[in-house]
Structure 1
Amino acid sequence: MATTDTDGEPAQPDDVTQEATPPASGPSTSAFPPIGDYGFISDGEVTALVAPSGAIEWMSVPRMDAPSVFGAILGRHAGAFGLGPSDRTVPDARRYLPGTMVLETSWGTSTGWLIVRDVLVMGPWHHQHERSGTHKRPPTDYDAEHILLRTVRCASGEVQVVMDCEPVADYGRVPVVWSYTGDDYSQGVARAEGTDLELVLTSDMRLGFEGGLATARTLLKEGEERFVAMSWHGAVPPRTFAEAYDKLVWTAHHWQHWLARGNFPDHPWRSFLQRSALTLKGLTYAPTGAIMAAATTSLPETPQGSRNYDYRYSWIRDSTFALWAMYTLGFDWEAVDFFSFLLDVATSDGEVQIMYGIGGEAELPERELPHLPGYAGASPVRIGNAAYDQVQHDVWGAILDSVYLHAKVQEHIDERIWPLMEALTQRAMDAWREPDRGIWEVRGEPQHFVSSKIMCWVALDRGARIARMLEQTKRAEEWSALADEIRDDVLTHGLDERGVLVQRYGSDALDASVLLAPLLRFLPQDDPRLRATVLAVADELTVDGLVLRYRPEETDDGFHGEEGTFTICSFWLVSALVEIGEVDRARRLCEKLLSLSGDLQLYAEELDPRTGKHLGNFPQAFTHLALVNAVMHVVRAEES
């Protein structure tokens, strides 16, 4: 539901007296802010990360997976866009305007109080006279305006304001040159040699240009306001503060109205569900409906380590949790858009990769960027992802489970996709006996991973259910029998002597991916093997209660060194504990996980169990999907 003020009306963006979130983390010995301290904004085509200092340190245009123009999060020379007081870098408070993706940062200085708001502007649908060449999903009433808007207001006293905008194209490799576009100092354009990049900077502050740096300095007194807008793709930027404010209000109301479509329980954890919903929407590439795994590349899973990957792509394995979360929270349109993206990328013969570009691209070649030192020295920095051509047997189960879930919710399945369902099921039938790289995309030797076998079981089980819905009785019987055969094989070769599901055949190593077994109904809830598996992971594969995906010393993943606990696995454990009736334990773990979110309720991929710091790419869609699942498990258990 939308947040309202005391009069019952939507909260207005100029209401600065509402309670703010706690202050961000204090200064670190690193020049890089903690990963979990970044703010995230999006317009469905472009995303940006805002550091606590008020500097935008990650942003790519013209779409989420393009080369960065602000890349300081991976190298301090790779471009940033700062706006704030001249004598402060640590804010007093940050928050999102309630129910929105408008980020507010506030500083109290020795002379006054300053408030900066950042937003990627949304506006009415603007493809009025010709069909968009990029949008594959049905048009909506709103669209990205291709404007990054920053407003600044002096709430009391007076504050010296500093703006420094220095984009560097192509991941920090190509500097830009600014030039004025008019007779005054209010607008300029940045171009980078050898690229088609063109960024327009517009402000009611006087702009100065020095090569690739655009600057402005002004003293604001109580009640005074200024704006600066960066635009691209021929967007029409605001020319006055009144115009800028109108765009900010329109965008804030857009997000509040969008959130109002959702179904959120009246529960103390509702704000986490709402922020997760907004984050997942922000990670959705609107033209295709693809959900991007994270907004960033190469943020390290291990401090100063080499487990650094590009997550700006869409993983098929996210589909089951994505559809479940969206349908559960009432966002059916977004679920249908993502489901349509899945059908777009699946070929008629059932050939499916584990991941795709957000535009549906099949080839995602991986390469390193040695000119970037990486976040806090974590190298190499990678773009692209070599895992796209790995063999992983979970993809068919993920898609078929998505089809089944979609059919149950919509109470309909289009018979035109039946040939694709047959092909996907046949792929699982042909592959389930073979080894693969597993859900964690290990770069060691292929293995008979238990979770991959379970997902092949899902493919046959859901295929049989879909066949029954379409009265394909013979197929249903055939696939159901093979599903039973796969389950029997797993229970013969994938259990240790205690009756616990293990990581792979021939090993006693534990793996958090087996927590999917209760969530996917691989065994009945009261099966003792299921209970033993969940409790073994909870007791033996955790550090201070947080779950490791596996122990690196027991797994040939192609890398060396430690890694943090995987937050998605910890949220899976919450859901799995509820499934076996351990509701109190599940609630305590969920409370702990929610307490470890950043001050803006955002999550990276991992948590360092010793410090609570976030590790890995940020914000992470899979983590927020698992959060929704876990919180709803606990809430429903409390209501029953």
Structure 2
Amino acid sequence: MITFNNLPDINDIRVNGYVKIKNHGMIANNRTAAIVAMDGTIDWACFPNFNSRPVFDSILDKNRGGFFSVRPVDNSFLNQYYEEFTNILITEFLRDHEIVLRITDFLPISDYSTINYPEIHRFIEAPNRDVDIEIRFRPNFNYGMERPMIERSRYGYLFTGSQNSVGISSNFKFKLENGNMLSSKVRLTSGSYEWIVIPTGIKHISPVEDYKSYDRLEETREYWKKWSNSIDYHGVYHKYVLRSALALKGLFYDPTGLMVAAPTSSLPESIGGERNWDYRYTWIRDTAYVIETLSFIGLKREATKFLYDIMDTIEKERRLRTIYSIDHNYDELFEDIINYDGYLGSRPVRMGNRASEQLQVDQYGSIINALYHLNKIGGTINSYMWDFVIDILDKLSIIWKYPDSSIWEFRTEPRHYVYSKLMSWAAFDRAIKMGKSLGYSAPYSKWRKTENEIKNDIIKNGFNKELNSFVQYYGSNDTDASLLRMPLLNFLPVNDPMIQGTISLIEKKLMHGDYLFKRYNEDDGLKGDDNAFLLLSFWYVEDLILMNKIKDAKNALDKILNMSNHLMLFSEEIDFKTLEPVGNFPQAITHLGVIRAITKLNNAFKKIKNSDF
């Protein structure tokens, strides 16, 4: 029997009309995703693809946004969890110590990646008693600026706009309210159940039975369980590794093999601030993290495919971008401001991302680092790939000297950021090691000379002797938490006094309680305070492991993992004051950090005999 211990009340999960970011789960199908709140509301979903315009978006405007909610009429306690080894999400409503309503949500998926089901399936059941429920359905078109044509049939309703159509097929009877919202209040008798299907991009509504929801559910269940069984990890914190892996897998876009950084846009990094970005794109710097992390848990095939898909995209365009559209539609990268209130009044609401226009030198090092790690796990680096490496280093040998916008994509004047120089150094270091191990020809002496030149330049201009630390950019008097990665890249040994001094200054200036890190103290020209960037906490855990501070690493990791939500999902950041998740959700790079830190700690445990852990 489920008790009420730690279960929230249905009224506790919202603040000022918005469901808290942490009180959501994600369903996904390698084409798109939907965000489902603990109260049965789908308040974000884009169809047919991740980067399509949303049909449900009330998470960004509670009044004008679209949504689809199913909930009991009376107050309830809430429970939400995933079906084991899957991305099938279950939301339960409890009263008097028993479940009165259960909703099972999923986006259909199968092994045939060319088959697409752009639809949401919701299985609604009353397992123990009669229950009165309320259903409300309001799809959105062009951010509420377009009034759809609404057609009623015996099987449901079809909403048609200029670029998309959204239907609802159900045996429930609805009434149309306010010109664009459907509502229904019905009683489910004990033991009864119904399906609701939300198809998109269709011209006609079919009977709900025609969507074969039971078959789609079984196919989806089989897909996720089969994929989960391919993960080769049996160490500590296994449940976190599995959930992070499933979240990451759900963020891949099958037609091109690219992965979105998050399925959402403009969820604020600071409540009420303007750090609100569209993350439904692929960042080239994330590539190395993806390759290395997937390899840590035995997903060599996935890692290889991802990199070759990225390389195919680069090759077709004959250029290296900072950000890639998952479907190669670069018109969508243009940043537009939507006339929405924003989550909890956090404006502006952005669609598209202007950072795509920036020079971010670290991206060149990131792609070479990705190739290096692919080679380390036994992936194929063919002669065509090696030709690409030579081209990249030819360009990097010139532009590493340029100021840029850094890993943090500052929208201020470009500077000589130390992290960007670090990744340039890493590119030459990795290329030399990789090329020689493969027996490929290259101008190694020239590369070695450039590698040494960059390293000496960083030490000369990026290290502040008075602070005994590397700094954010040349001439700066402050540090940057991205420099936690210096020892992880083996720029200098972790016990080198310059590295120790850098880590100490980062701890002093940028680490707050519970091992949370601010990225920098520099004024970045944006309103609102910056919050804790979670990936940095996992880098710090890796540094502690390198320093052989295993107990400290475990303590730090425990603290951070406990900041995940009820589904073990993470957003991009944590609010320093409230410890609430903020930023786009769920965030790929955070979950990559989860897996990396856990697997490295697990390897450290294996080396400790008679461990207390």
TM-score (norm 1): 0.89
Match for 1:198: what amino acid? S
2:511 to 514, 529, 542: 542
2:545 to 564, 578, 584: 578
User: Does structure 2 retain, via aligned residues, the 8 Å contact 1:284–1:291?
Assistant: yes
User: Does structure 2 retain, via aligned residues, the 8 Å contact 1:415–1:470?
Assistant: no
What is residue 371 of structure 2 aligned with on the other side? 403
Counterpart-to-counterpart distance in 2, 1:47 and 1:563: 27
User: Does structure 1 retain, via aligned residues, the 8 Å contact 2:264–2:585?
Assistant: yes
Higher mean alpha-carbon deviation, 520-529 vs 316-325, is at 520-529
Post-superposition offset of 1:474: 5.1
**2:47 is the alignment partner of 1:61:** yes
Map 1:387-398 → 2, pairs under 5 A:
387-398=355-366
Identity of aligned residues (%): 29
User: Does structure 1 retain, via aligned residues, the 8 Å contact 2:425–2:454?
Assistant: yes
Counterpart-to-counterpart distance in 2, 1:388 and 1:126: 28
Structure 1 residues 69-116: Cα deviation after superposition (integer angstroms, max 9, x where no partner): 11100111211000121223x642110111111111111236961111
User: Does structure 2 retain, via aligned residues, the 8 Å contact 1:59–1:68?
Assistant: yes
2:263 to 295, 300, 307: 295
Higher mean alpha-carbon deviation, 146-155 vs 499-508, is at 499-508
Q: 1:236 to 1:272 in 2, by over 3 A?
A: farther
What is residue 257 of structure 1 aligned with on the other side? 226
1:201 to 144, 168, 172: 168
Counterpart-to-counterpart distance in 2, 1:217 and 1:504: 60
Counterpart-to-counterpart distance in 2, 1:495 and 1:81: 54
Q: 1:60 to 1:635 in 2, by over 3 A?
A: same
**2:112 is the alignment partner of 1:125:** yes
Structure 2 residue runs of 5 or longer lacking an equivalent are: 608-613
Structure 1 residue ranges (4+ consecutive) displaced by more than 6 angstroms after TM superposition: 17-21, 235-238
**2:489 is the alignment partner of 1:520:** yes
Aligned-CA RMSD value: 2.4
What is residue 137 of structure 1 aligned with on the other side? none
2:536 to 562, 566, 569: 569
Structure 1 residues 28-56: Cα deviation after superposition (integer angstroms, max 9, x where no partner): 44211111111111111111111121110
**2:420 is the alignment partner of 1:436:** no
Post-superposition offset of 1:573: 0.9
User: Does structure 2 retain, via aligned residues, the 8 Å contact 1:84–1:163?
Assistant: yes
Higher mean alpha-carbon deviation, 515-524 vs 169-178, is at 169-178
SS at match of 2:377: helix
Higher mean alpha-carbon deviation, 333-342 vs 610-619, is at 333-342
Q: 1:406 to 1:627 in 2, by over 3 A?
A: same
What is residue 158 of structure 1 aligned with on the other side? 130
Higher mean alpha-carbon deviation, 356-365 vs 155-164, is at 356-365
SS at match of 1:435: coil
SS at match of 2:262: coil
Q: 1:517 to 1:24 in 2, by over 3 A?
A: farther
Post-superposition offset of 1:329: 1.5
**2:169 is the alignment partner of 1:226:** no
User: Does structure 1 retain, via aligned residues, the 8 Å contact 2:338–2:350?
Assistant: yes
1:324 to 289, 292, 297: 292
**2:476 is the alignment partner of 1:492:** no
Post-superposition offset of 1:158: 0.9
**2:428 is the alignment partner of 1:460:** yes
Counterpart-to-counterpart distance in 2, 1:358 and 1:22: 39
Map 1:466-485 → 2, pairs under 5 A:
466-472=434-440, 475-485=443-453
User: Does structure 1 retain, via aligned residues, the 8 Å contact 2:35–2:44?
Assistant: yes
What is residue 599 of structure 2 aligned with on the other side? 632
Match for 2:507: what amino acid? A
Post-superposition offset of 1:344: 2.4
Structure 1 residues 546-567: Cα deviation after superposition (integer angstroms, max 9, x where no partner): 3434344xx2422133121111
Match for 2:561: what amino acid? L
**2:7 is the alignment partner of 1:23:** yes
Match for 1:567: what amino acid? L
- Aligned residue pairs, count: 599
Post-superposition offset of 1:495: 1.4
Counterpart-to-counterpart distance in 2, 1:523 and 1:20: 52
Q: 1:463 to 1:121 in 2, by over 3 A?
A: same
Match for 1:169: what amino acid? F
Higher mean alpha-carbon deviation, 426-435 vs 327-336, is at 327-336
Match for 1:300: what amino acid? P
SS at match of 2:129: strand
Q: 1:482 to 1:636 in 2, by over 3 A?
A: same
Map 1:597-616 → 2, pairs under 5 A:
597-616=564-583
2:88 to 89, 102, 126: 102
Post-superposition offset of 1:605: 1.0
What is residue 213 of structure 2 aligned with on the other side? 244
Post-superposition offset of 1:224: 0.6
**2:353 is the alignment partner of 1:367:** no
2:419 to 451, 454, 457: 451
User: Does structure 1 retain, via aligned residues, the 8 Å contact 2:290–2:592?
Assistant: yes
Match for 1:147: what amino acid? E
Counterpart-to-counterpart distance in 2, 1:420 and 1:252: 40
What is residue 102 of structure 2 aligned with on the other side? 115
Structure 1 residues 465-504: Cα deviation after superposition (integer angstroms, max 9, x where no partner): 2331343455223212321221121112211225322211
Structure 1 residues 318-352: Cα deviation after superposition (integer angstroms, max 9, x where no partner): 01111111111222332223212321232489731
User: Does structure 1 retain, via aligned residues, the 8 Å contact 2:572–2:583?
Assistant: yes
What is residue 6 of structure 1 aligned with on the other side? none
Counterpart-to-counterpart distance in 2, 1:350 and 1:584: 47
Counterpart-to-counterpart distance in 1, 2:566 and 2:99: 24
Counterpart-to-counterpart distance in 1, 2:198 and 2:316: 43
User: Does structure 2 retain, via aligned residues, the 8 Å contact 1:350–1:423?
Assistant: no
User: Does structure 1 retain, via aligned residues, the 8 Å contact 2:541–2:553?
Assistant: yes
Counterpart-to-counterpart distance in 1, 2:405 and 2:531: 21
SS at match of 2:134: strand
TM-score (norm 2): 0.93
